[in-house]
């Protein structure tokens, strides 16, 4: 867990020494955001209060959403540079893999990631991805 992540209080079992504050059981199930971490103590902002928790009392509570996405092909590149108009690249810029072609798909994103992507898009900033085809882990059955 790191600062800025959403968490949910799952129990109050570990921070109940004599010098710690008594925390109400109504905190169980509440959501908050980690604001600081020091020596294994997590400061979590819940309902406009900052409370301390042991990491074992918290669980990540990122909301993941499957969103429709479009990947737009930019260029064939080698070592970060386009191979357009080169002997090596000329046969690649045909068919669907040329500048501007879009591909539809789905991706799982947290609410924070969706927000950051939308805010960047408003400024004309877009993420760029490399495409890698995954090889199947399944063995081919012999015939």
Q: What is the pLDDT of residue 113?
A: 87
Whether 83 and 108 share a structural domain: yes
Examine residue 131 and state whether it is found in any structural domain, yes or no.
Answer: no
Whether 32 and 80 share a structural domain: no
The pair of structure tokens assigned to 139 is: 């063995």
Q: What is the pLDDT of residues 47-69, one digit of tens each?
A: 999 998 988 899 888 778 888 98
DSSP H helical ranges for 29-130: 111-122
Backbone angles phi, psi at 81, to 5 degrees: -125, 145
Do the beta carbons of residue 69 and residue 105 sit within 8 Å? Answer: yes
Domain that holds residue 99: 64-122
CATH of the domain at 29: 2.30.30
Whether 69 and 101 share a structural domain: yes
Examine residue 116 and state whether it is found in any structural domain, yes or no.
Answer: yes
Whether 75 and 116 share a structural domain: yes
Whether 44 and 76 share a structural domain: no
Q: What is the pLDDT of residues 65-89, one digit of tens each?
A: 888 988 888 889 888 888 988 999 8
Whether 71 and 48 share a structural domain: no
Whether 48 and 92 share a structural domain: no
Do the beta carbons of residue 7 and residue 60 sit within 8 Å? Answer: yes
Work out how many domains the chain is built from and give that number: 2
* Range list of β-strands (E), the chain: 6-9, 31-38, 41-46, 49-54, 58-60, 64-72, 77-78, 81-82, 102-110
Do the beta carbons of residue 9 and residue 29 sit within 8 Å? Answer: yes
Whether 71 and 47 share a structural domain: no
Whether 52 and 77 share a structural domain: no
Q: What is the pLDDT of residue 131?
A: 78
Q: Structure pTM? A: 0.51
Examine residue 138 and state whether it is found in any structural domain, yes or no.
Answer: no
β-strands 49-54, 41-46 pairing: antiparallel
């Amino acid at each position: 867990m790191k600062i800025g992540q959403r968490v949910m209080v799952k129990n109050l079992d570990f921070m109940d020494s004599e010098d710690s504050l008594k925390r109400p059981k109504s905190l169980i199930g509440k959501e908050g955001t980690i604001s600081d971490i020091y020596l294994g103590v997590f400061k979590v902002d819940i309902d406009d209060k900052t409370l301390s928790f042991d990491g074992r009392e918290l669980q990540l509570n990122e909301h993941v959403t499957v969103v429709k996405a479009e990947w737009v092909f930019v260029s064939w590149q080698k070592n970060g540079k386009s191979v357009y108009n080169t002997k090596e690249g000329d046969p690649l810029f045909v068919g669907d893999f040329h500048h501007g072609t879009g591909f539809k798909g789905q991706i799982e994103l947290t609410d924070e990631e969706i927000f950051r992507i939308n805010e960047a898009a408003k400024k004309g900033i877009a993420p760029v991805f490399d495409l890698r085809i995954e090889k199947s882990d399944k063995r081919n059955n012999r015939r």
